[in-house]
Amino acid sequence: MVSRRGFLKTSAALAALSVLPAGMVTGCSKREKAIGVQLYSVREDLQKDFDGTMKALAVAAEARNDIMPDIPTTAEAGFESVMFKKYRGILTTQNMPDEYVAILAEAFKGVSESAYFKEKYIVPNGLTPDYKGPEDFAKVIDETWVEVAEALGK
């Protein structure tokens, strides 16, 4: 169990990281190979010729991406623990009535499965949708915080 103080410290650190551009954040695990990504120094080259400047080496996901099926996953490329997962969810108070939770869950499921959402958000960003209902999403949050606490040595 993570203490409130530890949770707040970790939350503050993650919030600070979340405002940085994705290309400026470097990830490193004590147990694995260090991987850093920094695109600032090639920003002008990227604007002129993105395809000539960048080459996809791997997809940081559990499965290959439908948009780039020939690009291996990070695990297939030899970096088993390099994974980028981004979750979006709605958190409420613990005492929210179950019928309200069900209404919200059904609404968000409908949006996540809509053609509009897929066309305007999922496909252009090369994402893999993975809707989780309230119970499954709670498990993801619990598992994620355990991983964060372990990585921080807490």
Whether the pTM exceeds 0.75: the reply is no
Q: What is the pLDDT of residue 143?
A: 83
Q: What is the pLDDT of residue 98?
A: 92
Average pLDDT over the chain, rounded to an integer: 75
Does residue 50 surpass a pLDDT of 60? yes
Q: What is the pLDDT of residue 36?
A: 55
Question: How sure is the predictor about 1, in pLDDT bands with cuts at 50, 70 and 90?
Answer: low
84 is written with which tokens? 């980028």
Question: b vs e for 3-35, b when ≥16 Cβ sit within 10 Å of the residue's Cβ?
Answer: eeeeeeebeeeeeeeeeeeeeeeeeeeeeeeee
Question: How sure is the predictor about 3, in pLDDT bands with cuts at 50, 70 and 90?
Answer: low
More confident residue, 24 or 42: 42
77-132 residue pLDDT tens: 888 777 777 777 888 888 999 999 999 999 989 998 999 998 888 888 777 778 88
Does residue 58 surpass a pLDDT of 60? yes
Work out the burial of residue 59: count CB atoms within 10 Å of its CB; fewer than 13 is exposed, 13-18 middle, 19 or more buried: buried
On the CB side of 73, CA atoms within 13 Å amount to: 13
Does residue 31 surpass a pLDDT of 70? no
Among 33-42, 63-72, 132-141, where is mean pLDDT lowest? Answer: 33-42
Q: What is the pLDDT of residue 45?
A: 79
